[in-house]
Amino acid sequence: MTTASSSTRIPGCTGARIAAAGKRWDAVRTGWLSLPHLLPGGTRSTTAAGTAPAVGPGPAVALYAVAPLRGVEHLVLDDLAAYADDRGWIVPAGCAVADSGPLDQSPAVRAGWQRVRAAATGRLVHGVVVPSFAHIAYRAADWERERAWLLEQGLFVVATDPTELQAGLTPEELRA
């Protein structure tokens, strides 16, 4: 498990940092469906001691999840927001969206997913952050349809816990 990138230097203690509380992510379990040119080597740069780090604006992302019950959507969206914040990504207003219900529901009937699609079509976001790819589409046929659409839009997708559905695009597929 690695500590999230947001941290603060401790004055007088060379190399010591305080990590942001509650923000730990397992880098090995993060899945990527991405276009390499949208994700620079890092969103934060290091600078000489005593100067403020240069932080450029990160890509805008939508957060999307399907919660099994109404009323708990904010719990999963809070985790996704922390994940995006740790990477310097921006979440535009109205682009943190959750649907409630079963994962196997068609993405075409999910109002929240349709809002994410509208934001992507309107070029408000460069990518989507989800708990797993299954939150976009659980069934293989639905996933293939949504995957093709994501590629057409030039979006990257990050699954913070992709183990529920092992589907995604490799960099080789994106270049094809």
Where do the domains of the chain lie?
23-41+56-175
Residues 6+ apart with CB under 8 A from 105: 66, 99, 138
Read off the pLDDT of residues 1-49 as tens digits, 9 standing for 90 and up. 333 334 333 333 333 333 333 333 333 334 444 433 334 443 333 334 4
Contact in structure between 64 and 133 (CB atoms under 8 Å): no
Contact in structure between 73 and 67 (CB atoms under 8 Å): yes
Q: What is the CA radius of gyration of the chain?
A: 17
Read off the pLDDT of residues 127-170 as tens digits, 9 standing for 90 and up. 999 999 999 998 889 999 999 999 999 999 999 986 654 444 44
Fold classification of 23-41+56-175 is Rossmann fold (3.40.50)
This prediction has a pTM of 0.63
